[in-house]
Structure 1
Amino acid sequence: MEQYNLKLKVLDGLFCIFRLEPFQVIPKWATAGTFFSITRAEEELSIVCSQNSVPEDIESQMVCENGWKCLKVEGPLDFSLTGILARLSSALADAGVSIFAISTYDTDHILVKEVNLENAINALVSHGCMIQ
């Protein structure tokens, strides 16, 4: 696996991860905030969005996990680079930190539970990453 000097930034705020039925309409509140991700697959509609944008009565009506922090790999990353997610996920797996990964055209995002953030940062720094 190639080695890169990866820089990550912890995004402000907390995030929720929702699972909806694949045919459901994307809620307007899901697209509020500076970072959100929506993926529709045959089996599900997955939404990652700012926890602050979620109406209070919604969480009890949907399958969701709240309390996530997002670490963004500073990009853009060239498509020829290999092993970036493997390096990050291996470091976090070794530290016992569960992740939810999202890739975009320019970069990768790793979500970890807020209670595991300090442990995640320590693990990534010990594997040569820089954290903002």
Structure 2
Amino acid sequence: MTQERSWSLRRYATPVAVCRLAPDADVPQWANAPTPLSAIVRTANELSLVCAADAVPSQERMLGPYVAYEIAGLLDPDLVGVLAELLEPLAEASISVLTVSTFDTDWVLVPERQADAADTAWRRRRHTVLDHIPA
């Protein structure tokens, strides 16, 4: 893919986690701790939560911690290839990700131990990473 556009990403300082609960579970109070991104996704098979990593009780099933990156600004929902342009350099650097889309923008979750490598990979492609924004 030829890089034609560059994007600005906001890197948030508060680590997040992705938790899996039973599909019929209530959303627990700890999932409401302050964080730059929280999400509740329920399917027939699971309840997945994106929440503050340090709020998750040790007995819960969790992935992370992740660093959350927000694509700055409002994204037109008709844009094509935004995530592809951002994920390609990470795939080339063997960095795994999770993504979350909201009404306004997309978020990329990078394992905390690989966040600096992600920043480098994006900057090499002329994307801007705004560092360590508080939640």
Q: 1:7, 1:129 within 8 Å by CA — same for their partners in 2?
A: yes
Q: Indicate yes or no: 2:47 matched with 1:45.
A: yes
Q: CA deviation at 1:59?
A: 2.3
Identity %, equivalent residues: 31
The CA distance in 2 between the partners of 1:128 and 1:41, in whole Å, is 37
Q: 2:6, 2:125 within 8 Å by CA — same for their partners in 1?
A: no
Matches within 5 A, 1:68-87: 68-87=66-85
Corresponding residue for residue 108 of structure 2: 110
**What is the TM-score when the length of structure 1 is the normalising length?**
0.90
Q: List alignment gaps of at least 5 residues for structure 2.
A: 131-135
User: What's the CA shift string for 1:32-81, capped at 9, x where partnerless?
Assistant: 21421111111111111112333xxx222x21123211111102101121
Corresponding residue for residue 121 of structure 1: 119
User: What's the CA shift string for 1:69-126, capped at 9, x where partnerless?
Assistant: 1111102101121101111111111110000100001011111111101111111111
Q: 1:33, 1:53 within 8 Å by CA — same for their partners in 2?
A: no
2:17 aligns to what SS in structure 1?
strand
**What is the TM-score when the length of structure 2 is the normalising length?**
0.88
What RMSD in Å do the two structures reach over aligned CA positions?
1.5
